[in-house]
């Protein structure tokens, strides 16, 4: 499968929302729901120059259809002078998986992090997401950290 990875564009909103929150989409994969206002706000942040949040999309070269996305953000750290980049969300349509699209999206985020001068790119995944981990161990390494969060947080 031949794909092009490019920055998201305003014209991509409907398809991004479908991949994000529609049937078979990212949020459903993680058994989650978000208010529509949160999804719309997230999309608008991609185009706000004051927000350090971006999105790259995978476009099937044959059909021109957006088939996946990676969202990422930069942030300060107390462990380096340079910022870190956090790969926040990675999703490829179920019928387009196992064709290297996820890897290309991660490599896109790596290249964007380099442009930003970030010294680290990192991400989290669910412990049970074994298929994704098969890719992640090829493009990165397990840091050895576990993630905890505040109970009953928003």
Q: Which residue has the tokens 């049937």?
A: 23
Domain-located, residue 152: no
Put simply, whether the predicted model's pTM sits higher than 0.85 gets the answer: yes
Tens of pLDDT along 43-59? 999 999 999 999 999 99
In the beta sheet, which residues pair with residue 73? 53, 86
**Which CATH number does the domain housing residue 87 bear?**
3.40.630.30
Domain containing residue 7: 3-139
Tens of pLDDT along 2-17? 999 999 999 999 999 9
- Look at residue 55 and give its three-state secondary structure: strand
Domain-located, residue 144: no
How many whole angstroms from its chain centre is CA 52? Answer: 14
Q: How far is Cα 43 from Cα 109, in angstroms, rounded to an integer? A: 17
- What's the whole-number average pLDDT of the chain? 93
Q: Are 24 and 68 in contact (CB under 8 A)?
A: no
Q: How far is Cα 85 from Cα 47, in angstroms, rounded to an integer? A: 17
Q: Are 28 and 54 in contact (CB under 8 A)?
A: no
Domain-located, residue 114: yes
Domain-located, residue 154: no
The count of structural domains within the chain is 1
Domain-located, residue 76: yes
């Amino acid at each position: 499968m031949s794909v092009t990875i490019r920055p998201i564009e305003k014209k991509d909103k409907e398809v991004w929302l479908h991949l994000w929150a529609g049937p078979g989409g990212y949020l459903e994969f993680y058994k989650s729901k978000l208010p529509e206002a949160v999804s719309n706000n997230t999309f608008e942040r991609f185009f706000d120059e004051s927000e350090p949040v971006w999105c790259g999309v995978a476009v099937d070269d044959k059909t021109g259809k957006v088939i996946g996305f990676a969202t990422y953000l930069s942030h300060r750290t107390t462990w380096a002078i340079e910022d870190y980049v956090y790969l926040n969300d990675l999703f490829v349509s179920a019928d387009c998986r196992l064709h290297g699209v996820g890897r290309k999206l991660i490599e896109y985020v790596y290249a964007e992090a380099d442009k930003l001068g970030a010294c680290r790119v990192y991400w989290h995944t669910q412990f049970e997401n074994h298929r994704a981990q098969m890719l992640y161990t090829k493009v990165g390494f397990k840091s050895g950290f576990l993630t905890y969060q505040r109970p009953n947080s928003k």
